[in-house]
Structure 1
Amino acid sequence: MKRLGLIFALIATPLWAETPCCATGDLGLVVERASGSLLVIDRSDRAAVGRVEGLGDISHASLTYSPDERYAYVFGRDGGLTKVDMLTRQVVARTVQAGNSIGGAISDDGRLVAVSNYEPGGVKVFDADTLALVADVPATGKTIGLVDVPGRRFAWTVWDTGEVFLGDFSGVEPVIRPLGNAGLNPFDAVLTEDAHTYLIGLFGEKGVTAFDLWDENPKPRKFLQDYGKTADDLPVYKMPHLQGWAFTEGQYVLPAVGAHELLWVDRDSLQETARTPVHGQPVFIIAQPASPFVWVNFAMPLNDVVQVVDSRTHQVVKTLTPGKAVLHMEFAPRGAEVWISSRDDNKLVIYDTRSFAVLGEVAAQSPSGIFFTARAHRTGL
């Protein structure tokens, strides 16, 4: 009878059961910028479990994931868009779609992948399954700050002109809508986690510009236009990355470009509420999940330090030295630990976020960005 039951079970087994058996929920990818490879990491085992090669120039790469966490879409500096299978750990599709690209995003339904380009500028949109070109939207300059917006839409801005656009790709033909002008030389942008506010940092002038994407007719609203006007700016060695801006305790936590400070802004009034002196020029400011803390790393030459700041008091509560040239931080989805890349020490350092104890280290080749598959379920990445 047992044998007969086994036969029936095998007959009833659906074809999809033949797919690889491994799960992807605790996996991630680390950009190995010098070698054009990705290190596959297992968060639960705190270990490297594989490597994917042949990614081209990924010296300034970012990536996003499909909704099922199986595929990663990697945006390379050489204009390459590469699709990687997390289960087989192989490149399954690749296209060099521009001369120089800076980032991308996946639509909320997982069907479209968009890439923002420096050269020749503009946004290209691809079918997420095949990487076939779906739309080519030109621009009159470098396109930055590309984010996904619910409804199979994307928002972006243009460095050279300050123009901001919202593209709707839900229909047969894309509808591209200009939203207005952000200001002089927008260097990056970020969408709040509720997809309400699109924030654009300005390099050519002081300030940040906000667009309310819940409004039927979003208008630019500038704030933080007075910070730093009484002091000379320091040289900017590395542009802050706004997708690391933290949102916590009803506040935006923003980098003061050209200064060693964090700027705290009330989310509703857009008024500055406090400043925090920090170790150097902030690059990433990332909120620790399920906590009042944000973690900050810094531009060279002070880039061997990470500081932890309490969003309630605006005070630095811990200073850590993970290694030489700290480039990125990534939290476990519930915030229990943080992985930090030390490029010049060729390693990842894992910290317990409560005790600040080192839980482990993982060897990596000139690591930069760290991306867990949990990002597949977050808006604006």
Structure 2
Amino acid sequence: MTRLLPLLCFILSFNVLAELRATGDLGIVIEREKGNALIVNTTKHTQLAKIEKLGDLSHASVVFSRDERYAFIFGRDGGLSKIDLLQDKLNKRIIQAGNSIGGAISQDGKLIAVSNYEPGGVKVFSSDTLELVADIPAVYGEGKRSKVVGLVDAPGQRFVFSLFDAGEIWLLDLKNPKTPAIKKFLNTGKQPYDAVIAEGRYYIAGLFGESGLALLDLWNPEAGVKRVLPDYVKDDEKLPVYKMPHLEGWAVAGDYLFVPAIGKHEVWIIDKRQWKLIKTIPVLGQPVFVMARPDARQIWVNFAFPDNNQVQIIDANELSLAKTLAPGKAVLHMEFTPRGEQVWLAIRDDNRLAVYDTETLEEIARLPADKPNGIFFSARAHKTGL
């Protein structure tokens, strides 16, 4: 028996090592209709687990803890779920509002902020316990509450968000969470509907109610909000909008921003040094996500119905269309692997995920998923504004 002990110890230690999992390899895929979250391995193209009954995930978004162990899922029903990616389980779930549209995690990873439609405002929670830290009602005018959109994290323990109904942008400083400091920028434009933060510095809100964009330079907030491209798209030039573009998927490549045009079959290219339009690229439908490969060499674009069975790729060097793909029925979301050698596509109406090689533009893997709509990889933990 004593001779067998070393062998038994080796076998036991080997089994423990075999079960270890690296967090940088992981991701979350949302099954929207069933309210499930799939934990996937992005290198092996495999599903590891399914976390069920997470509520209304029809507009779900996900952020990750800085150690990449936990995923925080924001549900449309006001649910906030904390998923343990290593133990394949729901750590905690709360209902924090009546209607939520997304959230963000603070620079130090200790705070989770959620933007709410109902009641309008932002709530901030401890990422450790999901206990409420701060409640910021989006009050404007004579006691009215606004829907909150375009919530992003910013350097300096700050969050930035827009008030859809009020046409305002608020800068929330949480260096001391017990005494939040708020700077309000009024009359920034009609109906800001989403926003992006470029390079951790420029907060840019798209405007649905009028032409143009609203720009706040976080390095120089005292300069106020600047209007960008106020005269580019006239109201009578717009087509019916089938799905709002997602500005958090805007592409930044060198000195250029690649921006989805609202109600038009175009991608705008903006010089971010002068904030001027330099070119428009005609595309086959209304863009939803316009996303840069991590090296910014390619820009991938998906579309609203009825053109959502196709994806187009823009060459960022030539500033022109390079390729059109037809991955399947209803391509809703795209996510690049951390260094960009592959891109994953959520193909809702085919009930599957597709993985493409971004160099050859060939499909290299498929995974089953029930009505997938969102793909989020753990590398997001180390990026500002996602």
Please indicate the TM-score interval, normalised by the length of the shorter structure: over 0.9
Q: Please say if 1:40 is aligned against 2:39.
A: yes
Give the SS at the match of 2:156: coil
- Which amino acid in the other structure matches residue 183 of structure 2? R
Aligned to 1:12: none
Q: Check conservation: 1:61, 1:77, Cα contact below 8 A.
A: yes
Structure 1 residue 230, shift from structure 2 partner: 8.3
Q: Separation in 2 of the partners of 1:177 and 1:246?
A: 28
Q: Superposed, which structure 2 residues align to 1:199-210 within 5 Å?
A: 199-210=204-215
Moved more, 342-351 or 46-55: 46-55
After superposition, what is the alpha-carbon deviation per residue over 1:40-97, rounded to whole angstroms, capped at 9, x for unaligned?
1111101111111121110110010000000010000000001000011111111100
Q: Please say if 1:370 is aligned against 2:378.
A: no
Q: Superposed, which structure 2 residues align to 1:263-302 within 5 Å?
A: 263-302=268-307
- Which amino acid in the other structure matches residue 217 of structure 2? D
Aligned to 1:213: 218
Q: Of residues 180, 187, 192 in structure 1, which corresponds to 2:193?
A: 187
Give the SS at the match of 1:205: coil
Q: Check conservation: 2:212, 2:233, Cα contact below 8 A.
A: no
Q: Separation in 1 of the partners of 2:236 and 2:254?
A: 29
- Which amino acid in the other structure matches residue 325 of structure 1? A
- Which amino acid in the other structure matches residue 251 of structure 1? Y
May I ask how many residue pairs the two structures share in their alignment? Answer: 369
Q: Separation in 2 of the partners of 1:24 and 1:117?
A: 30
Moved more, 214-223 or 153-162: 214-223
Aligned to 2:107: 108
Q: Separation in 2 of the partners of 1:379 and 1:348?
A: 26
Q: Separation in 1 of the partners of 2:373 and 2:168?
A: 30
Q: Please say if 1:72 is aligned against 2:78.
A: no
Moved more, 362-371 or 166-175: 166-175
Aligned to 1:320: 325
Moved more, 73-82 or 225-234: 225-234
Aligned to 1:178: 184
Structure 1 residue 218, shift from structure 2 partner: 4.2
Q: Check conservation: 2:252, 2:296, Cα contact below 8 A.
A: no
Q: Check conservation: 1:200, 1:210, Cα contact below 8 A.
A: yes
- Which amino acid in the other structure matches residue 380 of structure 1? G
CA 1:230/1:31 → structure 2, altered by over 3 Å: closer, same or farther?
closer
Q: Separation in 2 of the partners of 1:281 and 1:315?
A: 17
Structure 1 residue 367, shift from structure 2 partner: 0.3
Q: Separation in 2 of the partners of 1:100 and 1:261?
A: 31
Aligned to 1:359: 364
Q: Separation in 2 of the partners of 1:340 and 1:218?
A: 40
Q: Check conservation: 2:296, 2:316, Cα contact below 8 A.
A: no
Q: Check conservation: 2:106, 2:157, Cα contact below 8 A.
A: yes
Q: Aligned Cα RMSD in Å? A: 2.0
Give the SS at the match of 2:349: helix
Q: Check conservation: 1:275, 1:314, Cα contact below 8 A.
A: no
Give the SS at the match of 1:376: helix
- Which amino acid in the other structure matches residue 194 of structure 2? D
Q: Separation in 1 of the partners of 2:360 and 2:150?
A: 35
Structure 1 residue 21, shift from structure 2 partner: 2.9
Structure 1 residue 181, shift from structure 2 partner: 3.0
Structure 1 residue 180, shift from structure 2 partner: 3.3
Give the SS at the match of 1:87: coil
Ranges in structure 1 where 5+ consecutive residues have no aligned partner: 7-16
Moved more, 307-316 or 57-66: 307-316
Q: Check conservation: 1:180, 1:219, Cα contact below 8 A.
A: no
Q: Check conservation: 1:285, 1:295, Cα contact below 8 A.
A: yes
Q: Of residues 308, 316, 332 in structure 1, which corresponds to 2:313?
A: 308
Q: Please say if 1:117 is aligned against 2:116.
A: yes
Q: Superposed, which structure 2 residues align to 1:23-102 within 5 Å?
A: 23-102=22-101
CA 1:269/1:136 → structure 2, altered by over 3 Å: closer, same or farther?
same
Give the SS at the match of 1:77: coil
Q: Separation in 1 of the partners of 2:69 and 2:84?
A: 6
Give the SS at the match of 1:68: coil
Q: Please say if 1:128 is aligned against 2:127.
A: yes
After superposition, what is the alpha-carbon deviation per residue over 1:236-277, rounded to whole angstroms, capped at 9, x for unaligned?
010000000101131111111010000111011001000000
Q: Check conservation: 1:346, 1:364, Cα contact below 8 A.
A: yes
Q: Please say if 1:240 is aligned against 2:239.
A: no
Q: Check conservation: 2:60, 2:73, Cα contact below 8 A.
A: yes
Structure 1 residue 226, shift from structure 2 partner: 2.1
- Which amino acid in the other structure matches residue 48 of structure 2? V
- Which amino acid in the other structure matches residue 136 of structure 1? D
Q: Separation in 2 of the partners of 1:291 and 1:218?
A: 30
Ranges in structure 2 where 5+ consecutive residues have no aligned partner: 7-15, 139-144
Aligned to 2:147: 142
- Which amino acid in the other structure matches residue 101 of structure 1? S
Give the SS at the match of 2:379: helix
- Which amino acid in the other structure matches residue 98 of structure 1? A
Structure 1 residue 314, shift from structure 2 partner: 2.1
Give the SS at the match of 1:312: coil
TM-score for the superposition, normalised by structure 2: 0.92
Structure 1 residue 39, shift from structure 2 partner: 1.1
Give the SS at the match of 1:25: helix
Runs of at least 4 residues of structure 1 off by over 4 A? none
Give the percent of matched residue pairs that are identical in Structure 1 and Structure 2. 51
Q: Check conservation: 1:63, 1:74, Cα contact below 8 A.
A: yes
Q: Check conservation: 2:256, 2:270, Cα contact below 8 A.
A: yes
